[in-house]
Amino acid sequence: MSGQENLGQRAFEKACRNEGLTPEESQALAASHGVMIPPTVLIKTEEEISRTKERVKQVVGDVQPDIEDMSKETQVEKKIAQIEEAFTTFEQTFMPLMEQSVQTPELRVALANPFHIINANRSNPLRNFERAKNKAQAHDLPVEALMLSLPNPRHFAYAIEPQALAEHGAMIGYSPLHRILAVHPNWDPQNTLDRFGVYHETVHMMHQAVHRSKNMESFVRFYAGERNRVVIDEEYDAYALELEAIDIQLEGELRRSVAVGKPPDPNRIMEMLHLREDQRIPLTMLLWFASRYFPHGKIHQYPKTYIELVDRTCLHDGFHLFRYGPDSQPVPYKSL
């Protein structure tokens, strides 16, 4: 890696930490990642940093006392109701926009699939993970075995996992081996990016259902092994669909910006989507991806620059990269 590329990577890491950039770092970031962030644009005053950190702590780190007092099963049941109701509203508003703006049948199907998964899971009697654990215990079964035996590939369980998610500043995560969608108690059904977090994770569910169906032994061995593994094909698809869906929600704002050579403006998108300040960093990452994906990216036909940026981001986050091989089994992958 050249000195300029090293500087670009360091600038990328600083931007991820919400730190300001020097003019040289700004130029190197543009050269290496294709995103122009003006020097010092991310610098905040100490007072602003304190307020932001406090807000992140309130939203992601703290769990309200009334939630702590509930039984875990009741907590999960309440969160399931929130998510399912939110996705009913989300689908009602999103699908008409999608039908107006998307002509490609393959993309239409892909964009609708997350809603189909959430809806199909409503009939799953074990969608409350606390209930699933109790059932597994009653039958002297490992809960993983019970969850992996669910016959419907679209079925999964919801779980509330505040500590594990807070470590990553996340509201949502998916555990393949347990087939659980981990949700933070403070996940907000009214928040656009929180909803898109669920949307993103359902794409992983689809991929992993295929992997399970083809070779359960391989699936278990892969996900029961070392942590921090990612099948990067899944990330290309999940982020691409998320970007396409967000662009539809924004009535083409992302695609238009990139088409005229301007990276999408985080401040403008924050305002348009009514996001929280603690969501600025994840949004900025998505907009970097958007600047590489649009205007020529298509589902399963990804620009090289988009692939490279997703690879770099996952490597930066400490993941070991894999890709699906010719036999549909994950094999180690070295980024381009």
CB-facing half-sphere around the CA of 179: CA atoms within 13 A? 31
Q: What is the DSSP letter of 167?
A: T
39-50 mean pLDDT: 40
pLDDT of residue 53: 38
Q: Write out the two tokens for 270.
A: 């924050």
How many angstroms separate the CA atoms of 50 and 62, rounded?
A: 16
pLDDT of residue 4: 62
Q: What is the DSSP string of 174-243?
A: EETTTTEEEE-TT--TT-HHHHHHHHHHHHHHHHHHHHHHH-HHHHHHHHHSSSSEEEHHHHHHHHHHHH
* Per-residue pLDDT tens digits for 155-165: 999 999 887 77
* Per-residue pLDDT tens digits for 225-256: 777 899 999 999 999 999 999 999 999 999 99
Cβ-contact 107, 238 below 8 angstroms? no
Does the reported pTM lie above 0.75? yes
Average pLDDT of the chain, as a whole number: 85
